[in-house]
Amino acid sequence: MSQTAFISSPFVANDLFSAFEDAVMQRKVAELALQASEARLRDATALLQLAAQIGRLGGWAYDMGSRTLALSPEVRAMMDLRPGDDVPARGALRWLAEPDRPRLRAILERALEDGTPFDVESQALTARGRRIWVRIICEAEWDGAARVQRLHGALQDITESKQAQLALHESQRCLSERLEERVAERTRQLRLANEELEALAYSIAHDLRAPMTALHGFSRLLHDNLPALDSRNKHYLGRIMGNVRHMSELTDALLSLAGLSSVEMVNQPVDLAVLAREALQRQRELEPARELDAIIAETLPAVGDPALLQRVMANLVGNAWKFSRPKPRTVIRVGSEWLPDGVAYYVQDCGVGFDMAHAANLFGAFRRLHTAEYEGTGIGLALVRKIVTRHGGRVWAEARPGEGATVWFTLAC
């Protein structure tokens, strides 16, 4: 019976050999793939170890169940631990330098409680007492009950980069201190130079006043006591007297400008609108026939020295009046506007204006844009700038030729 069954189900040798050959081939392919994977893993591990060495980076892990702390060889070397040294989990906190220890303990307790990750820098003391800077990175692993099961992370020695950073900060601090000292010294030298220059200008102007007064007086005596002078000589004498008068005005203006720095300021509330009306009234008394439209704000409250601000408004309103003379009707506006840095006051006229290309020269001493046509010393706007600067403000002008000008100023007081 068994022989009959054997004959009816013949053994196919070729199929068996083919199946065996396929199995061997598949195993060989799997072995080669495994070898390649192991080689890649070794390469990756070597690269990771090299990167850890270069970056001075190691790993650590803390298990909540066993309360044990595991350290990678890189971390042990970083902390100067010997092969047999045992590190209790709580003992690792002693590595942290005292100023940072309470902060790091609170951060670690929070991570143990709710898994909050952290990435912090701290000073640490190694087993040999070396003080180093470390970067500590931590993440949490959770169990099925959503409880923190394990903390793991990395520890990196950042001493060199931290020292370089601290050295850079120290260098910047020293550089900043030296720069501040140099600026303070330059400022002191500039202040002394300005004081000396102002003293010299005051001395020159003061010394010139007496001979100018004498020259003007003697010229007047000649004019009054020599009635028989012909027209040419009278013209010459008139020119002398006119120039002496102008020189006296320049001398007085220079004395006023030079002495401004020594004037003690008394800051108090001031209404610039009142000062503007008073200045305009003085101009109208000199030329009562002029047609005038004066648009002055009802009130322009400010804080500053009343006497100095009166000179500001007198100069600005006087200029507006003077340079509007060619117009058939004088229009002067005085008001204020809010700018991003605070309130700015302005005096605007409808006069001859000027080219903004020359605006930089407008507030310099003895700088005049209209020399022949209009009287003046060239000191008025320089005086305005100095007074405004002493009040912590700034002054500027806007204009177009033939369309008038607007002078703006701020007061920080």
Average pLDDT along the chain, 413 residues, taken 10 residues at a time: 46 61 71 65 52 67 86 88 77 79 89 90 88 91 83 90 88 90 85 68 66 76 74 79 74 68 83 94 88 91 92 91 87 92 92 78 65 62 88 90 90 80
Tokens of residue 11, six digits: 């053994």
Q: Choose among 91, 89, 93, 53: nearest CA to 74.
A: 53
Tell me which residue has tokens 């072995």: 31
Q: Supply the pLDDT for residue 4.
A: 46
Q: Supply the pLDDT for residue 5.
A: 46
Q: Supply the pLDDT for residue 349.
A: 92
Helix axes 272-286, 306-323, angle to 10 degrees: 40
Do residues 91 and 79 lie in contact, with contact meaning Cβ atoms separated by under 8 Å?
A: no
SS3 176: helix
Distances in Å between the alpha carbon of 123 and those of 59, 129, 154, 170, 233?
18, 12, 15, 18, 95
Per the DSSP assignment, residues forming a β-bridge with 338 are 343
Length in residues, the chain: 413
Q: Supply the pLDDT for residue 240.
A: 81
Per the DSSP assignment, residues forming a β-bridge with 133 are 123
Report how far residue 72's alpha carbon sits from residue 51's, in angstroms, rounded to the nearest whole number.
14
What stretches of 126-252 adopt beta strand conformation (E)? 131-142, 148-157
Condensed to tens digits (0 to 9), the pLDDT of residues 257-289 reads 666 776 788 899 999 999 999 999 998 888 888
Cβ-count burial 232-259 (b if 16+ within 10 Å, e if not): eeeeebeebbeebeebbebbebbbbbbe
Burial class (CB in 10 A: 0-12, 13-18, 19+), 199: middle
Q: Residue 258: CB partners within 8 Å, gap ≥ 6?
A: 198, 199, 201, 202, 205
What stretches of 305-387 adopt beta strand conformation (E)? 330-339, 342-349
Report how far residue 171's alpha carbon sits from residue 177's, in angstroms, rounded to the nearest whole number.
10
Helix, strand, coil fractions of the chain, as percent rounded to 5: 55, 20, 25
Q: Choose among 309, 263, 297: nearest CA to 409.
A: 309
Q: Supply the pLDDT for residue 271.
A: 96
Distances in Å between the alpha carbon of 302 and those of 310, 386, 388?
12, 17, 12
